[in-house]
Amino acid sequence: MGTNFFINDNQDVLIEILKRLDGRSLGVAACVCKLWCGIARNDSLWEHLCFRHVSQPQEGVRTVVLALGGYRRLYMVCVRPVLNRLRKWRPIGMESDSEIVRRVYWTRHEVELSLSLFCVDYYERVLLGGGGGGGGGGGGGRHGGDGARTTSLMFLCKAVNV
């Protein structure tokens, strides 16, 4: 008699798998069921995603990022759009245009820029925006009928809330 392997019973395996996914897949995974949603929202997964291909991120980055809104938000609001835009901007070299191979190239400068923009976003959203309505994703918040609320990251892509 065989034992059925049910992934939901083996959350550590699930986490290991999710760790290796890209952002979009992680978002899709979060739509599967409540359990997966809870796991996918775990900030450490997103931290892993953000800094996967960068050598040892500096100490203290985690404290700062968590204070400013967490890795998931960092990815949504800054990292993903920055990489998307800059990938098109920077000459790709010998890589083909195939979407299957999507490698995340992070350099120190991109990290710094993303973190700076993230900090500006936090300042505007939480401190200048009156502290309320900051949730609902960067894109959703922007449309919230209040003309006075502005965000300086609107020039990046509209963020998709998982």
Q: Could you tell me the smallest distance in angstroms from the CB atom of residue 139 to other proteins?
A: 8
**Alpha helices for 1-158 (secondary structure H):** 11-19, 23-29, 34-40, 43-50, 61-68, 71-74, 80-89, 108-122, 137-143
Say how far apart CA 162 and CA 144 lie, in whole Å: 18
Q: Which is nearer to other proteins, 29 or 156 (CB)?
A: 156
Give ∠ CA 12-49-72 in degrees, rounded to 5: 95
* CA neighbor of 157 nearest in space, from 58, 49, 70, 82: 82
Among 119, 133, 140, 161, binds other proteins (CB under 8 A): 119
Q: Could you tell me the smallest distance in angstroms from the CB atom of residue 40 to other proteins?
A: 25
Q: Which stretch binds other proteins (CB under 8 A): 4-12, 25-33, 44-52, 142-150?
A: 142-150
Handedness of CA 48, 50, 53, 59 (dihedral sign): negative
Q: Which is nearer to other proteins, 34 or 109 (CB)?
A: 109
Site string (76-115) toward other proteins, x via CB under 8 A:
-----xx--xx--x-------------------xx-xx-x
Q: 76: which DSSP letter?
A: I
Q: Tell the burial category of 14 from Cβ atoms under 10 Å away from its Cβ (0-12, 13-18, 19+).
A: middle
Among 41, 142, 160, 161, binds other proteins (CB under 8 A): 142
Residue 54 sits in the site that holds other proteins (CB under 8 A): no
Contact residues toward other proteins (CB under 8 A) are: 58, 60-61, 63-64, 67-68, 81-82, 85-86, 89, 109-110, 112-113, 115-120, 122-124, 127-128, 142-143, 147-148, 150-152, 154-158
